[in-house]
Chain A
Amino acid sequence: MEILNKSLSQLKAHIAEGEISCEAVTAAYLGQIKKLNDDLNAFITVNDNALERAHELDKKHKSGEDLGPLGGLPIAIKDLLCTRGIRTTAGSKILENFVPPYSSTVTSRLEEAGAIVLGKTNLDEFAMGSSTETSYFGVCKNPWDTQRVPGGSSGGSAAAVAARMTPAAIGTDTGGSIRQPSSFCGIVGVKPTYGRVSRYGITAFASSLDQAGPMTSNVKDSALILQYIAGRDSQDYTTASNEVPDWYANINPNVSGKTVGLLKEYFEEGAMSSDVRKAVENTIDVLKGLGVNFKEVSVPQIDTAVSTYYLIATSEASSNLARYDGVRFGYRSDFKEEPAKNIADFYARTRAEGFGEEVKRRILMGTFSLSSGYYDAYYDKACRVRALLKKQFNEALEGCDILLGPVTTGPAFKIGERIDDPIEMYNNDIFTTACNLVGAQA
């Protein structure tokens, strides 16, 4: 049976009916990883125990046991989420050899539901980037054109799904890191509402913005994954206690009568390339044909979203990344030849060698925004603009079911094209960052 082109839902049905074994499914994807990973660099680590776990699930299935709602389904995990016993690097030299002694809630929920972790996918270092070019483990390539980036920071997850190295993957999104690579690689990605999915065990970048979500080849498969990772977790007090509905069973293609808002600021002349504009207009036409009503709405302050986002995200990152000090885990400088002068020198040399260029740039920016004399003008002001954006988004959403807009200003760019220009790279995120600031799903 052809496996690699099946959707997650189809594989689920075939496994449940006993038409195909978990081992055959996992072996097929491991084979595809072996075939393509040297070229694409989508995976940093492959799980050596994946086949064994598949074999055990087959045994359970034969003895009549229920495999769970995701029984035997392979999934790739962004290497930012802790997986017990499987190296978790965050794409950084500072965590190159880190093997977590516990699992993130997302991965333990997936495994409890019967899923098989195939491996850990490449990402921008500490999820800081929009192209997967800042990874310590080398750039990941877009499977549709290997001269181009897959997007980022969940570029490995997006490339792996697009190249059928996995039927589904988990990504994280702090300012667009699920949506932008999903768009660049032509797959489906969902950034859940802030608080929907537990952040426990996910290497923190910016705690008030980070959310994990599914990346798959179609919408229904994303619903299936989200279903089993969402919900209250006592390990993360920012998770909402709202009930998790059965999205998978109740998915409904009938959108007739729904009202979709179009942010007029997003559609201004020159806001996006002609190709992207054409794709968005095509989508609008398709939806109109299905009976959707459109309405122009406005978030006047949206032009400040990228600046607000980067000030807040870097401030939180500078605080979150303070834990990497070379004492209890992670990389430590070699002090044998030149001993540390003092404790500050011990930390500063370890961190200077362990972090990459972009991570250091963001730590510096965040430290500056939080520093005495600049806090009010930058971090505090950004939090006030964030409140204003939330107010304006709530007003724009009144009378609309959802808002629709582009994800990126243009299609996937070439590797190396923007990496030396941080401002241009940050401005890539113009359509995605606002949703993280206001906590909305996207």
Chain B
Amino acid sequence: MKIDVEKVAQLAALKLTDQEIKTYGQQLSSILSHFNKITKVDTGNLSPMVTPTDIKNEFREDDVIHWENAETAVANAPEKSGNLFKVPPVV
């Protein structure tokens, strides 16, 4: 199976080197051929199981909860200006 790694990397927002594109391409196609056996399993009319527990939608009041302060919220920012996140110009 041939995988268009460049396209997948673009979807995944990862910049890959030419060497990585080659290596991951080979690895992913051999991993996926190995995983391909699941496509042949007869799953009858079973619905896809996305989580192990039965989850019901739960509603809660839309209350305002006081949480720390702005300084704490932006403390981990790679770059900031006062209490604002700062990013380089990208256009």
- Chain A facing B: main interface SS: helix
B78–A330 contact, CB under 8 A? yes
Smallest Cβ-Cβ distance to A352: which chain B residue: B15
Which listed residue, A98, A101, A322, touches B72 by the CB 8 Å rule? A101
State which residues 6-65 of B face A: CB under 8 Å.
8-16, 20, 24, 27-28, 30-32, 34-39, 41, 43-44, 46-53, 55, 58, 60
In this assembly, does A346 line the interface, its C-beta being within 8 Å of a C-beta of chain B? yes
Which listed residue, B34, B55, B76, touches A98 by the CB 8 Å rule? B76
B8–A346 contact, CB under 8 A? no
In this assembly, does A310 line the interface, its C-beta being within 8 Å of a C-beta of chain B? yes
Which listed residue, B9, B75, B78, touches A326 by the CB 8 Å rule? B78
Instruction: Give the complex CA separation of A329 and B75 in angstroms.
Output: 8
Instruction: Give the complex CA separation of A288 and B1 in angstroms.
Output: 49
Contact with B along A259-274 (1 / 0, CB 8 A): 0000000000000000
B79–A332 contact, CB under 8 A? yes
Instruction: Give the complex CA separation of A23 and B74 in angstroms.
Output: 35
Instruction: Give the complex CA separation of A238 and B41 in angstroms.
Output: 29
Number of interface residues of B (CB under 8 A): 53
| With known contacts A99-B76, A348-B13, A365-B28, A311–B35 Cβ distance under 8 A | yes
Instruction: Give the complex CA separation of A339 and B90 in angstroms.
Output: 8
In this assembly, does B89 line the interface, its C-beta being within 8 Å of a C-beta of chain A? yes
| With known contacts A99-B75, A352-B14, A363-B12, A381–B39 Cβ distance under 8 A | yes
Instruction: Give the complex CA separation of A390 and B44 in angstroms.
Output: 14
State which residues 351-394 of A face B: CB under 8 Å.
351-352, 355, 360-361, 363-365, 367-368, 371, 377-378, 380-388, 390-391
Neighbouring B residues of A194 by C-beta, 8 Å: 51-53
Neighbouring A residues of B89 by C-beta, 8 Å: 339
A364–B9 contact, CB under 8 A? yes
Neighbouring A residues of B30 by C-beta, 8 Å: 423
Smallest Cβ-Cβ distance to B5: which chain A residue: A364
Instruction: Give the complex CA separation of A303 and B91 in angstroms.
Output: 50
Neighbouring A residues of B20 by C-beta, 8 Å: 360
| With known contacts A308-B38, A318-B12, A364-B14, A384–B76 Cβ distance under 8 A | no
B90–A360 contact, CB under 8 A? no
In the complex, the 7 A-B pairs of residues with the closest C-beta atoms, listed nearest first: A439-B52, A383-B48, A329-B76, A332-B78, A384-B43, A387-B49, A348-B15
Chain A interface residues (CB < 8 Å from chain B): 97-99, 101, 194-195, 207-208, 234, 237-238, 240, 301, 303-304, 307-308, 310-311, 318, 322, 325-332, 335, 339-349, 351-352, 355, 360-361, 363-365, 367-368, 371, 377-378, 380-388, 390-391, 422-423, 426, 437-439
Chain B interface residues (CB < 8 Å from chain A): 3, 5, 8-16, 20, 24, 27-28, 30-32, 34-39, 41, 43-44, 46-53, 55, 58, 60, 68, 72-79, 85, 87-91
Can you show 15 pairs from A to B with CB atoms below 8 A apart? A97-B76, A238-B55, A310-B35, A329-B78, A365-B32, A367-B11, A381-B39, A383-B48, A384-B47, A387-B48, A388-B43, A390-B49, A422-B31, A423-B34, A439-B53
